[in-house]
């Protein structure tokens, strides 16, 4: 029972955080947190958007969870990813400048990745795509944190072989 309750509470945390992150993205105006505003229209739109991305985000999160089971390094990866994607989303032009500086560097692998990201984000939808990825990663982080905080233990049932 405790394991099922931990999974249920972690799933509820995932859905709630994903909903509020999507509402944040919908209500986000501009490319800086300085001009952020949220209106009451953001929440119905967030619900509609979640109907489309929610199942795919849930499948990705469950796959990640099945691989790593809320271990410390999995939470650390999600935390670093969430913070870096959040910074890229909240300061779009600063992120583009970072990509420009990486393109000017000497490392070919970073140069190629920066060129690819800059090309992808230059099409106009990169800013919203980063926000969507940030929402999914942050919701997965919330799921893992709730599950790790509850620390459910699997109780082995004794089986009689009489």
The answer to which of 17-26, 40-49, 80-89, 111-120 has the lowest mean pLDDT is 111-120
| 56 falls within a domain | yes
Flag whether pLDDT at 153 surpasses 70.
no
Supply the range of the domain harboring residue 117: 2-150
Spatial contact of 115 and 103, defined as CB atoms under 8 Å apart = yes
| 158 falls within a domain | no
| 161 falls within a domain | no
Confidence grade of residue 154 (pLDDT, cut at 50, 70, 90):
low
Over residues 58-76, mean pLDDT:
84
Cα separation, 128 vs 47, whole angstroms:
16
What domain count does the chain have?
1
State the average pLDDT for the chain: 77
The answer to which of 21-25, 71-75, 107-111, 136-140 has the lowest mean pLDDT is 107-111
Neighbours of 93 (CB within 10 A): 10
| 160 falls within a domain | no
| 96 falls within a domain | yes
State how far the alpha carbon of 82 is from the alpha carbons of 35, 52, 87, 151, 159, in Å: 21, 21, 9, 23, 44
């Amino acid at each position: 029972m405790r394991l099922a309750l931990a999974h249920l509470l972690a799933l509820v945390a995932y859905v709630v955080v994903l909903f509020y992150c999507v509402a944040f993205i919908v209500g986000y105006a501009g490319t800086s947190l300085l001009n952020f505003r949220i209106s009451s229209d953001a929440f119905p739109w967030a619900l509609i958007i979640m109907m489309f991305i929610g199942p795919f985000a849930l499948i990705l999160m469950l796959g990640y969870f099945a691989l790593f089971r809320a271990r410390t390094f999995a939470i650390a990866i999600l935390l670093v990813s969430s913070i870096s994607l959040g910074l890229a989303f909240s300061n779009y032009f600063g992120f583009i400048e970072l990509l420009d500086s990486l393109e000017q560097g000497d490392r070919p692998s970073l140069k190629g990745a920066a060129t690819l990201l800059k090309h992808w984000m230059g099409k106009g939808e990169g800013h919203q795509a980063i926000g969507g990825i940030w929402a999914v990663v942050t919701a997965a982080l919330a799921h893992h944190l709730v599950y790790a905080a509850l620390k459910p233990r699997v109780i082995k049932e004794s089986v009689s072989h009489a």
